[in-house]
Amino acid sequence: MHIGLRLRLRNGQITEAEHLIARNLSERSLANLQTPRPGLLATVPPGERVPREQMLKIGASYYEALVTGNGDAAPFADDCLRRENGMQTTSNPLPQKPGQGTLGSMGCHDQLNTKMFNYIKRIEPRRVEIADVENGLVFGLSQFRHPMQEKVLKIVGVPGLETLNMNYNPFDLPAAHIFKVRGGKIHEIEAMGFTMPYNSKT
């Protein structure tokens, strides 16, 4: 099980609570969720900290990069690493044979430019309202909308892979993301989510 949790505190009391829970994760994914990544916990040196409002804009830019299929729309660091429900989905070892496995070996920026996420047509609502300047963390809640009208995606710039079959029914993905921002760039992405019927209420 993987949980994303938002609490609002006022005068030392919890006044709001909101959570998302992803269940039935694989053993491999759960192994990556036992201990937080050191990069997420590290305090950001004062010289690399970013003002809160800028941090919120950087976090929000990730969603724009996804729906536009444009890695330049968000300031990804070269070492950016993303996990989704514990599964590492970028910067994996390069496969022996070129093809679909190559996508998972790419970094956050270059992977987006392949257009592999073009099935994500809308992300709404997008709520990026929490930032911790000292630790460089931004928290976002959103709902991914996937009409899945295109059953084949054209892939750009990946040798040995021209298309991806996307024979899936429409669905939504309520999601939570934590972004590690240092020096104005996104270095770590910790994502969680689960599937729901298309155009579900939030």
What digits encode the pLDDT tens for the residues 40-64? 999 999 999 999 999 999 999 999 9
2-197 folds as Nuclear Transport Factor 2; Chain: A, (3.10.450)
Q: State pLDDT tens for residues 168-200.
A: 999 999 999 999 999 999 999 999 999 999 999
DSSP-assigned letter for residue 169: -
DSSP 45-94: PGGG---HHHHHHHHHHHHHHHHHT-GGGS-EEEEEEEEETTEE-SSPPP
Q: State pLDDT tens for residues 7-27.
A: 999 999 999 999 999 999 999
Mean predicted lDDT score pLDDT of the chain: 95
Q: State pLDDT tens for residues 120-139.
A: 999 999 999 999 999 999 99
Domain residue limits, the chain:
2-197
**pTM as predicted:** 0.94
Establish whether the linkage from the previous residue to 46 is cis, with ω within 30° of 0. Answer: no
- In Å, the largest CA–CA distance within the chain is 58
Share of the chain above pLDDT 90, in %: 92
What is the pLDDT, as a whole number, of residue 63? 98
pLDDT at 101 > cutoff 90: no
